[in-house]
Amino acid sequence: MTTKWTIPADLWFGETVAILGAGPDMTEELAAKAKGFKTIACNRAIKFAPWADMFVALDPHHPFWEEADNLGFKGMRIIGVEHDGFDALYPGMLYETVRMSQFETIHIRNNALAAIRIAYMAGAKKIILLGFDPERYEEIHAQTGFRGLKEGLEQITAELRANGVEVERIDSEIKKPGSKPPRRSEIDPKTFPQTEKAPE
């Protein structure tokens, strides 16, 4: 079962933390750039870095939980809901408030943004983003209601930099235009909401 977890402010104090995104252009070569740093693998990125220190998959229904087991992942496991069937840490819902325009603010839950927030709260001095592709994410999810990653990434990056944390983004040199999007499980939005309008 899940264990409620408060992120220790000194967990990775002063460290460089690499975050491996689940973008379609993630590769083993790109993931290898994280070696030597504390590393968080988000969702499907775990298959490229079973050696990571932390695995973030907010959705308990996602197939990459099973993949982490099959790969022999030994690090910290972070989940976004309390669930009896998972031996993982639950740090709360990890919503990000994202300003989409002057007239609209939304709350989103996203593995990559959650990983950035965790690294920041754990005391990271520098965060390296690898395999992030918010533009492709927005394209893939244009008709699903999942939106705000691009704006959310810009806003959390600005927030962290304003607080003295260096944020660097490294994209893959190998682009795969037209590649199939990563697998997703079907999620009932009433049970596991991803995007909602902020209260007035």
pLDDT, tens only, 116-160: 999 999 999 999 999 888 777 667 666 777 788 889 999 999 999
Regarding pTM above 0.85, the answer is no
Query: Rounded to whole angstroms, how far apart are CA atoms 164 and 52?
Result: 25
Query: Rounded to whole angstroms, how far apart are CA atoms 98 and 151?
Result: 7
Please count the other Cβ atoms lying within 10 Å of the Cβ belonging to residue 145: 11
Amino acid at 190: K
Please state which of the ranges 3-12, 68-77, 133-142, 172-181 shows the lowest mean pLDDT.
172-181
What is the 3-state composition of the chain as percent helix, strand, coil, each rounded to the nearest 5? 25, 20, 55
pLDDT of residue 127: 98
Q: Are 39 and 49 in contact (CB under 8 A)?
A: yes
List beta partners, residue 169: 129
The residue ranking higher by pLDDT, 139 or 111, is 111
Query: Rounded to whole angstroms, how far apart are CA atoms 64 and 46?
Result: 8
**What residue ranges define each of the domains in the chain, with the CATH number in brackets?**
7-173 (3.40.50)
Q: What is the mean pLDDT of the chain?
A: 84
pLDDT of residue 141: 62
The residue ranking higher by pLDDT, 148 or 115, is 115
